[in-house]
Chain A
Amino acid sequence: MSNGARSVTEVHRNGNIMAQEKLLEGYVGFANLPNQVYRKSVKRGFEFTLMVVGESGLGKSTLINSLFLTDLYSPEYPGPSHRIKKTVQVEQSKVLVKEGGVQLLLTIVDTPGFGDAVDNSNCWQPVIDHIDSKFEDYLNSESRVNRRQMPDNRVHCCLYFIAPSGHGLKPLDIEFMKRLHEKVNIIPLIAKADTMTPEECQQFKKQIMREITEHKIQIYEFPETNDEEENKMVKKIKDRLPLAVVGSNTIIVVNEKRVRGRQYPWGVAEVENGEHCDFTILRNMLIRTHMQDLKDVTNNVHYENYRSRKLAAVTYNGVDNNKNKGPMTKSPLAQMEEERREHVTKMEKMEMEMEQVFEMKVKEKIQKLKDSELELQRRHEQMKKNLEAQHKELEEKRRQLEDEKHNWEAQQRVLEQQKLDASRTLEKNKKKKIF
């Protein structure tokens, strides 16, 4: 029974399931799937976060206004460049744009004060902190139990404005891009491109691309597709990198057409004219063709890098190594291995130490016991001597006593004798008297 529904055969090969392509015999209807996805996404609406970085006075606010054809920064709410700041700040503005039934929640992240001070060391730190904090928010909301609301505030794209010096990149540009190319999609732009003639512009672009490859900076890469047409367009864009843009808030009439442009005494520089600058390319690329790809790369590459680094640091030892400063240069697995080895060596060392301590204690104890033994012996001897001495004394005394006894007895005998004599004499006397 052939029902046109079955169009995939499962073939087991080496335990892997490979799907063979099969021709359909009738109209099934899943070709409608993209429409369903489309309808759902339209209902949900889109989010996009764009970050603009560059020194003040490079026309960032004007370009944003031109890109999205709204006055995000207007005289009532002037752009950050018009406000005076002492340190680099990171400011967010949100705008809801609707077109053709599709809703876009656009967040613009601006960095006023970047590169404006005399000493600009570490002016990229607030930017890095902001990007990391957005990643962290997303990570936390992903790990929560209740995941209904997952607002995506991660920075999807960073437009870096290069000053049109005509020479090359400044040390600040190189430093910044080196530190951020692994965290966010960087699209370098040449600001105020109407400063340069076409030849100077070409020269400058070549110089910049050379320096970018020299310093191994990874800017956003346009993906190759299967479509020939698209590939041609992508190649055209790649040839014109970095894009030289001009922005304008004013509308000028040129040849009875109303165009956005800048009026000079020697002519009008049109923003949307492909021969004057690369603005249209930027707009098409950013909004019309590659917005989704930017979001995907942010999600799949930059966010995953952040996530694996963060989680690897926390899991081992249960100790939060995130408190330590310093970049993680190894993959999570190698990191774990090394930590285990460290742990083992630490344990061994501790064991050895304990044994040593133990031995020392035992020796001490033995010594103490010996000492006390000697002490006891000594006392024993002492006491024996005392005893003998006393013994002798006693003997002496006894002898004395004996002697005295003898004497006394002798005396007693003498006395007795005397008494006897005395009584005899008396008797004699008595007898004599009688007579």
Chain B
Amino acid sequence: WPRVPGLGHSGSGSTLLGYIGIDTIIEQMRKKTMKAGFDFNIMIVGHSGLGKSTLVNTLFKSQVSRWSSGWGGEHKIPKTVEIKAVSHVIEEGGVKMKLTVIDTPGFGDQINNENCWDPISKYINEQYEKFLKEEVNIARKKRIPDTRVHCCLYFISPTGHSLRQLDIEFMKHLSRVVNIIPVIAKSDTMTPDEKNEFKHRVRKELETHGIEYYPQNEFDDDMEDKNENDKIREAMPFAVVGSDKEFQVNGKRVLGRKTAWGVVEVENPNHCEFALLRDFLIRSHLQDLKEVTHNIHYETYRARRLNDNGGLHPISANNTQESNL
């Protein structure tokens, strides 16, 4: 045998006798993904007036909501639930991200809100359908454009008492189709005690109704993940405050809301949990959200579709029969 440095005799799990350079694969992957860029689609759901657009702007530190893209100044409540998607490309540290914010005006605003989640689940399933069609194509693109909803932020109204009937219904219907992250909106309404009590009650209710929010228990890969996710699950739903205005506090410029009795600092962990949400959503679990959507929710949809039809038939975009939940 010619002596090749680094190769021992045993096959798997062998100790390396020199530096090969396998770990550079991480660097290669990084370069590739940086060139290709990311897609991230986030949907925000909640009835009007809960500060959804403001929060999204704060999360991504830029004017990405639909109000900022010139949708007209009037906040008129539409008669039915509409789906409005706005895309922006933002860049940070050489990494490009195509962020799509999907807004749902009209949700929960009518007098009769029966089945107001239908347009939303239809939209989500349509995106899965689009991806499936591309995948099944004979001559398919190298990179299939990913419009699937990776994450759904559901805004809970800070009543201080419990979840509303509509909240429970929505989350029950959609937690099996998309990653739902419940957040408590406008949490500067509540004092710290009220906040803790409310969160506790909401968590109990979600448990009672069997609503699995992201990060789901069943998808924890190993002990390390489980511990980390357990800690996060205990702290959810995050009580957040959004703001895109800056104020001077103690010589620093901070994002916040100025009231007559003080300034609510958005990034101060004593004031609200915005920083926790941002770290969780963007800094640690962004890729995981995409993976769960692709490996689990999308696969469930695909399996159901292929089983139902015994093969794939061409379907029109208006066919809502497929989205039976």
Which 3 A-B pairs have CB atoms at the shortest separation, nearest pair first?
A: A165-B49, A57-B159, A267-B262
Whether A267 touches B259, Cβ cut-off 8 Å, given contacts A118-B113, A118-B166, A163-B49, is: yes
Interface residue? B110 (CB, 8 A): yes
Docked complex: A404-419 residues within 8 A CB-CB of B: none
Interface residue? A58 (CB, 8 A): yes
CB distance from B120 to the nearest CB of A (A): 15
Do A118 and B114 have beta carbons less than 8 Å apart? Answer: yes
> Using a CB–CB distance below 8 Å, which chain A residues touch chain B?
55-59, 81-82, 116-121, 163-168, 170-172, 175, 192, 194-195, 197-198, 262-270, 273, 275-276
Do A120 and B164 have beta carbons less than 8 Å apart? Answer: no
Whether A58 touches B112, Cβ cut-off 8 Å, given contacts A170-B77, A269-B261, is: no
CB distance from B46 to the nearest CB of A (A): 11
Q: A57 CA to B163 CA in the complex, in Å? A: 10
Out of A56, A117, A118, A264, which one reaches B261, CB within 8 Å?
A: A264
Interface residue? B50 (CB, 8 A): yes
Interface residue? B258 (CB, 8 A): yes
- Return chain A residues, CB-CB under 8 Å to B157: 57, 163
Whether A192 touches B189, Cβ cut-off 8 Å, given contacts A117-B165, A118-B169, is: yes
- Return chain A residues, CB-CB under 8 Å to B189: 192, 194-195
- Look across to chain B and name the residue whose beta carbon is closest to the beta carbon of A172: B111
Chief secondary structure at chain B's binding surface = loop
Do B164 and A116 have beta carbons less than 8 Å apart? Answer: yes
Out of A56, A171, A195, A270, which one reaches B109, CB within 8 Å?
A: A171
Do A166 and B259 have beta carbons less than 8 Å apart? Answer: no
- Look across to chain B and name the residue whose beta carbon is closest to the beta carbon of A169: B77
Q: Tell me how many residues of B have a C-beta within 8 Å of chain A.
A: 38
Do B114 and A119 have beta carbons less than 8 Å apart? Answer: yes
Q: A195 CA to B185 CA in the complex, in Å? A: 11
- Return chain B residues, CB-CB under 8 Å to A265: 192, 268, 270-271
Do B49 and A197 have beta carbons less than 8 Å apart? Answer: no
Do A266 and B265 have beta carbons less than 8 Å apart? Answer: yes
Interface residue? B199 (CB, 8 A): no
Whether A276 touches B261, Cβ cut-off 8 Å, given contacts A117-B165, A171-B77, is: yes
- Return chain A residues, CB-CB under 8 Å to B259: 194, 197-198, 266-267, 269
Do A167 and B49 have beta carbons less than 8 Å apart? Answer: yes
Out of B160, B191, B265, B270, which one reaches A263, CB within 8 Å?
A: B191
Task: Known A-B contacts: A165-B48, A266-B264. Give 12 more (CB < 8 A).
Answer: A57-B159, A121-B111, A167-B77, A170-B48, A171-B77, A171-B109, A194-B188, A264-B262, A265-B192, A265-B268, A266-B262, A266-B265
Interface residue? B140 (CB, 8 A): no
- Look across to chain B and name the residue whose beta carbon is closest to the beta carbon of A120: B111
Interface residue? B20 (CB, 8 A): no
- Return chain A residues, CB-CB under 8 Å to B160: 57, 59
Whether A171 touches B110, Cβ cut-off 8 Å, given contacts A56-B159, A166-B49, is: yes
Interface residue? B150 (CB, 8 A): no
- Return chain B residues, CB-CB under 8 Å to A58: 159
Do B111 and A175 have beta carbons less than 8 Å apart? Answer: yes
Whether A171 touches B111, Cβ cut-off 8 Å, given contacts A81-B161, A195-B186, A265-B192, is: yes
- Return chain B residues, CB-CB under 8 Å to A197: 257-259
Interface residue? B75 (CB, 8 A): yes
Q: A150 CA to B261 CA in the complex, in Å? A: 48
CB distance from A197 to the nearest CB of B (A): 5
CB distance from B302 to the nearest CB of A (A): 31
Out of A56, A198, A262, which one reaches B161, CB within 8 Å?
A: A56
Do A170 and B109 have beta carbons less than 8 Å apart? Answer: yes
Whether A82 touches B161, Cβ cut-off 8 Å, given contacts A171-B109, A192-B189, is: yes
Q: A264 CA to B194 CA in the complex, in Å? A: 11
Best-surrounded residue of A58, A119, A121 (most CB of chain B within 10 A): A119
CB distance from A255 to the nearest CB of B (A): 12
- Return chain A residues, CB-CB under 8 Å to B262: 264, 266-267
Q: A270 CA to B260 CA in the complex, in Å? A: 10
